[in-house]
Amino acid sequence: MSVLRSTFVAASRSPRLRSTAERSSILTPVVERFVAGTDVDAAIEVARDLAADRYVSLDHLGEATTDPHAAEATVEAYATLLHRLDAEGLTGRAEVSVKLSALGQALGDDGQKIARDNLLHICSTAADVGATVTVDMEDHTTTDSTLEIVRDVRADFPSTGTVLQASLRRTEADCHDLAGRGSRIRLCKGAYDEPVSVAYRTKAEVDASYVRCMRILMTGQGYPMVATHDPALVTVGEQLAIAAGRGRDAYEFQMLYGIRPTHQSELAAAGHKLRIYVPYGTEWYPYFMRRLGERPANIGFFLRSFTGR
């Protein structure tokens, strides 16, 4: 991971910068490139537009919650979102993505239980309206806890999916474990600044790991969700799916709202199943900082938004 990217990931964790940045209830154009808006209406509007030729996964932004009431408020926000998706007739095209740290995972010794119970509530509401839930993956210190919670919740809600990060050395083994019938695994590169003891640090190593993991998922029995904007990996993903005898409805590509939009349109127009991850909400700062750090050109874009040039 580059120094620049590490710096932005570190800044994404600063409570002081976060509270300053999130103070305004209006998103600046530079944030709006990556975040659908601050409220559920804005998220529904974007989802409705995208649903014309693709699928969506909506994320109510929030993470690293240190307050049980905030975790409960997150559960309520997802209930509101899911009922709105149902009312708008969008549940065939839309699901939700959830971060366990927003559901209380970090709340001390009880965090695991609190997050699991909160996730069960969300999955139950999702099941009532016919939508699925995918659990995001955060930094490597949470991987075991997240996979354990997802395993527990899948006993009642088997369609619950989760994310694996190709940058982690453990992920090939996790892919083998989780490629069974009925599983839904979103494979991404990984957005966190991880130590070399647990993670690959160069692009070449991460990309090679991504291909190995995709091959395991594509030849497995589950439903692979190939989450990357990397055109080379998208091509390899399609080749591996064909080699594994999968039709286009037996896997999907996924990308983030606002990133490589032309590539997104081309994939959808070519008939690929493509899902766009659409974040919304007032707690946009950590997500936005991770996106900024992923591409040096974003920094110029960000700075120009202040200078007006």
| DSSP H/E element including 126 | helix 111-129
Given 255, 267, 268, 278, the residue binding ligand FDA (CB under 6 A): 255
Residue of 136, 139, 193, 207 marked catalytic: 136
Residue of 186, 193, 215, 275 marked catalytic: 186
Given 65, 74, 105, 298, the residue binding ligand FDA (CB under 6 A): 298
How many Cβ atoms sit within 10 Å of the Cβ of residue 52? 8
Please compute, for residue 297, the number of CA atoms within 13 A of its CA located in the half-sphere on the CB side: 2
Min. distance of Cβ 22 from ligand FDA in angstroms? 19
* CB of 218 closer than 8 Å to CB of 185: no
Helix, strand, or coil here: 40?
helix
Given 95, 193, 194, 294, the residue binding ligand FDA (CB under 6 A): 294
Q: Which is nearer to ligand FDA, 110 or 148 (CB)?
A: 148
Tell me if residue 13 is catalytic: no
Residue type, 181: R
Q: Are strands 274-280 and 184-188 parallel, antiparallel or unpaired?
A: unpaired
5 marked ligand binding residue: no
Q: In whole angstroms, how far apart are CA 110 and each of 76, 114, 116, 122, 136?
A: 20, 6, 10, 19, 20
Q: How many residues bind ligand FDA (CB under 6 A)?
A: 24
> Cα–Cα distance between 197 and 257 in angstroms, integer?
32
> Cα–Cα distance between 221 and 158 in angstroms, integer?
14
239 marked ligand binding residue: no
Q: Which is nearer to ligand FDA, 22 or 257 (CB)?
A: 257
| 32 is a contact residue toward ligand FDA (CB under 6 A) | no
Q: Which is nearer to ligand FDA, 26 or 297 (CB)?
A: 297
Tell me if residue 181 is catalytic: no
Q: Which is nearer to ligand FDA, 175 or 256 (CB)?
A: 256
* CB of 132 closer than 8 Å to CB of 159: yes
Query: Binding pattern to ligand FDA, positions 264-283, x when CB under 6 A?
Result: -------------x------
Residue type, 215: R
137 marked ligand binding residue: yes
| 192 is a contact residue toward ligand FDA (CB under 6 A) | yes
- Quick one: DSSP state of residue 224? E
Helix, strand, or coil here: 193?
coil
The burial of 255, by beta-carbon neighbours within 10 Å (0-12 exposed, 13-18 middle, 19 or more buried), is given as buried
Given 13, 83, 170, 229, the residue binding ligand FDA (CB under 6 A): 229
229 marked ligand binding residue: yes
| 256 is a contact residue toward ligand FDA (CB under 6 A) | yes
Q: Which is nearer to ligand FDA, 114 or 214 (CB)?
A: 214
Q: Which is nearer to ligand FDA, 27 or 256 (CB)?
A: 256
> Cα–Cα distance between 202 and 288 in angstroms, integer?
22
> Cα–Cα distance between 210 and 205 in angstroms, integer?
9
Query: Binding pattern to ligand FDA, positions 138-177, x when CB under 6 A?
Result: -------------------------x-x------------
Please compute, for residue 200, the number of CA atoms within 13 A of its CA located in the half-sphere on the CB side: 19
Catalytic residues: 136, 186
Please report, in range form, the residues annotated as the binding site for FAD. Answer: 137, 165, 189-191, 203, 228-229
Residues at the interface with ligand FDA (CB under 6 A): 136-137, 163, 165, 186, 188-192, 227-230, 254-256, 259-260, 277, 291, 294-295, 298
